[in-house]
Amino acid sequence: MKNILKSLSIILPIVAIFLMIQCKPMSNSTADIKTFIVASQTVDCTVVAPMKCLQVKEKESDSWGNFYSNIEGFTYEPGFEYVLNVKTEKIENPPMDGSSIKYTLIKQVSKTRK
């Protein structure tokens, strides 16, 4: 019996360490990476009040669409078209007048004068 307890006292910590090393953090299933093409000019738009909106599309063949949110970490400069890699994350309990998606710049792929 003592031999079994002694063996377990050695084996169990080794197994526990092995299992902890093998564990990987769960991926955030609410996050996604997208490529946005941002037009060189903004347009007038209205959400709650009149404002300027970026024109954004995900593919060259798509039509431009108004983008009503901000992209965290991105500073827009008129006269340039951008290609951006952007992380999108669903916001739990978003404000009534806000987006349900958070946009974060991952990488500015290109910036072309237009």
Q: How many domains in the chain?
A: 1
pLDDT digits (tens, 9 = 90+) for 52-108: 999 999 999 999 999 999 999 999 999 999 999 999 999 888 877 778 899 999 999
Let me know if residue 62 belongs to a domain.
yes
Q: What is the pLDDT of residues 26-39, one digit of tens each?
A: 444 557 999 999 99
Report the pLDDT value the prediction gives residue 8, as an integer from 0 to 100: 46
Is 85 within a domain? yes
Q: Considering the domain boundaries, does residue 16 fall inside one?
A: no
69: in domain: yes
Question: CB neighbours of 36 closer than 8 A, spacing ≥ 6?
Answer: 56, 57, 58, 67, 71, 82, 83, 84, 86
Would you say residue 50 lies in a domain? yes
Cβ neighbors of 85 (< 8 A, separation 6 or more) are 33, 34, 35, 105, 106, 107, 109
Q: Is 101 among the domain residues? A: yes
